């Protein structure tokens, strides 16, 4: 009887050791082969399963902690956090025990992330995964932390998705760098605008004096040539300053949006060009314009875009008697109320190696160009301001096609500050 009690006590002690995580405890059966030995065989099998499970679990946790991004596993049905890695604890300033078994959304800044959360859950339902979503977490002190988040379902052996895996990268430093760059760019734009304004007066004086010199100098051809060169250089610099001022104003100003009659606007712009009898005779203009009664955008910016594109087509037309310059302007209203505006010409065209750079600042398509190299850059900046896109197709010697696509906007679509000037 005493031996029986001692063996029961021994088995009990083994179970306590296993519960404490000591898998090296001896639980080998005796050679008697009685019921206690059968029980010890079962306990021994359990011990090996627990050992394997614990090693696997520790190994998996090691992998989690080795990931530098935030990693969180959440129960899909209850939103309860089931697992986090050490990065989450470090970034949010919580112990693991304070995160696990708590609601995932308690650690999300829902004021900043409500739309992002709705989008993530919607995409998970549709595609089982989502990536690149800006999600703001909250740390212990209530400070918001911006991240780029990805999420995907975790499927069990029965192919049932009961968990969601969230991974997120802290982008606070990137956001700060971006903010500083925006501030620096704004300061630079203000400097450019004010400097341009300060230089306009002296340049106008130089141009005026050069005009007077051209009228008064009649007996010195060399001096007259020098004054003509001075005037041309001053006028070119004046054009650059005007374009830079426009660019600075465009970047830093917010404009009201309204319903725009693009058909009427385009006809009005073209009518201004046709006042010039020489252009009316030299160039064939063709218009194919849809009515755009519901289009909403910034009329002032659109007018500038259209004028720049038409100017560009006129500037780079072929001056020859063989082929008459032709500019075809079309305007199409799409089903979603966006528009496609196309300007096609049969002008000089653009070299294939320059097409990818055509919207760069200070790029001129030809060496003979007298432009500032800012026209198409301003067009691109203006299009981006209106949330649109612009593409170009061109072949040297045959002409170019500029394709402008603009969405119809809402009041909240144009963000910016009022003019600082």
CATH fold of the domain at 174-252: Helix Hairpins (1.10.287)
Among 286, 276, 398, CA closest to 331: 286
- The CATH class of the 67-170 domain is alpha beta
Q: What are the extents of the domains in the chain? A: 2-64, 67-170, 174-252, 255-421
Topology alike, domains 2-64 and 67-170: no
How far is it, in rounded angstroms, from Cα 262 to Cα 269? 10
Identify the bridge partners of residue 391 per DSSP, sorted by sequence position: 403
| pLDDT score recorded for residue 371 | 61
Is the separation of the CB atoms in 179 and 409 below 8 Å?
A: no
Name the 3-class secondary structure at 336. Answer: coil
Flag residues of the chain having pLDDT under 70.
1-5, 7-12, 14-37, 39-40, 43, 46-68, 185-197, 243-255, 321, 362-373, 411-421
The β-bridge relationship of strands 296-297 and 258-259 is antiparallel
Among 122, 134, 117, 124, CA closest to 169: 134
Is the separation of the CB atoms in 107 and 91 below 8 Å?
A: no
Q: Is the pTM of this model over 0.85?
A: no
Is the separation of the CB atoms in 382 and 304 below 8 Å?
A: yes
| pLDDT score recorded for residue 406 | 92
| pLDDT score recorded for residue 121 | 93
| pLDDT score recorded for residue 416 | 42
Among 350, 382, 345, CA closest to 363: 350
CATH of 2-64, one of 3.40.50, 1.10.8, 1.20.1070, 1.10.860: 1.10.8
| pLDDT score recorded for residue 250 | 65
CA angle 2, 5, 10 (to 5 degrees): 125
How far is it, in rounded angstroms, from Cα 362 to Cα 376? 9
Q: What is the pLDDT of residues 189-228, one digit of tens each?
A: 666 666 666 777 777 888 887 888 888 887 888 888 888 8
| pLDDT score recorded for residue 418 | 36
The β-bridge relationship of strands 326-333 and 284-289 is parallel
Name the 3-class secondary structure at 217. Answer: coil
- Rg (Cα) of the chain, in Å, rounded? 36
Helix H or strand E segment including 135: strand 129-138
How far is it, in rounded angstroms, from Cα 299 to Cα 339? 14
| pLDDT score recorded for residue 55 | 47
| pLDDT score recorded for residue 294 | 72
| Architecture of the structural domain at 255-421 | 2-Layer Sandwich (3.30)
| pLDDT score recorded for residue 179 | 81
């Amino acid at each position: 009887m005493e031996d029986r009690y001692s063996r029961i006590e021994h088995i009990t002690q083994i179970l306590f050791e296993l519960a404490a995580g000591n898998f090296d405890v001896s639980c080998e059966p005796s050679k008697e082969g009685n019921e206690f030995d059968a029980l010890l065989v079962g306990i021994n099998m359990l011990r090996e399963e627990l050992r394997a499970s614990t090693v696997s679990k520790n190994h998996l946790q090691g992998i989690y902690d080795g990931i530098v991004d935030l990693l969180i596993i959440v129960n899909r049905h209850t939103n309860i956090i089931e697992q986090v890695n050490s990065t989450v604890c470090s970034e949010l300033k919580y112990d693991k025990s304070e995160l696990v078994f708590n609601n995932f959304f308690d650690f999300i800044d829902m004021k900043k992330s409500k739309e992002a959360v709705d989008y993530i859950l919607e995409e998970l339902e549709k595609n089982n995964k989502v990536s690149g979503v800006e999600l703001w977490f909250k740390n212990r002190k209530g400070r918001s932390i911006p991240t780029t988040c990805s999420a995907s379902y975790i499927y069990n052996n029965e192919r049932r998705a009961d968990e969601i895996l969230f991974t997120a990268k802290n982008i606070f430093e990137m956001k700060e760098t971006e903010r500083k760059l925006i501030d620096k760019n704004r300061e630079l734009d203000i400097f450019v605008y004010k400097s341009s304004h300060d230089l306009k007066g002296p340049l106008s004086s130089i141009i005026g004096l050069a005009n007077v010199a051209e009228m008064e100098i009649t007996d010195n051809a060399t001096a007259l040539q020098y004054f003509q060169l001075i005037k041309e250089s001053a006028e070119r610099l004046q054009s650059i300053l005007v374009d830079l001022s426009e660019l600075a104003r465009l970047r830093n100003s917010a404009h009201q949006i309204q319903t725009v009659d693009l058909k009427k606007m385009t006809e009005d712009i073209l009518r201004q060009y046709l006042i010039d009898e020489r252009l009316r005779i030299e160039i064939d203009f063709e218009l194919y314009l849809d009515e755009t009664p519901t289009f909403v955008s910034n009329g002032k910016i659109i007018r500038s875009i259209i004028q720049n594109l038409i100017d560009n087509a006129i500037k780079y037309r072929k001056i020859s008697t063989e082929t008459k310059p032709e500019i075809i302007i079309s305007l199409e209203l799409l089903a979603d109320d966006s528009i496609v505006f196309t300007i096609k010409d049969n002008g000089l065209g653009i070299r294939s190696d320059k097409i990818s750079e055509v919207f760069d600042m200070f790029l001129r398509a030809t060496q003979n160009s007298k432009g500032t190299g800012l026209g198409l850059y301003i067009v691109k900046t203006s299009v981006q301001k209106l949330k649109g896109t612009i593409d170009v197709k061109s072949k040297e010697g045959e002409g170019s096609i500029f394709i402008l696509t603009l969405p119809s906007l809402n009041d909240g679509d144009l963000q910016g500050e009022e003019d600082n000037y």
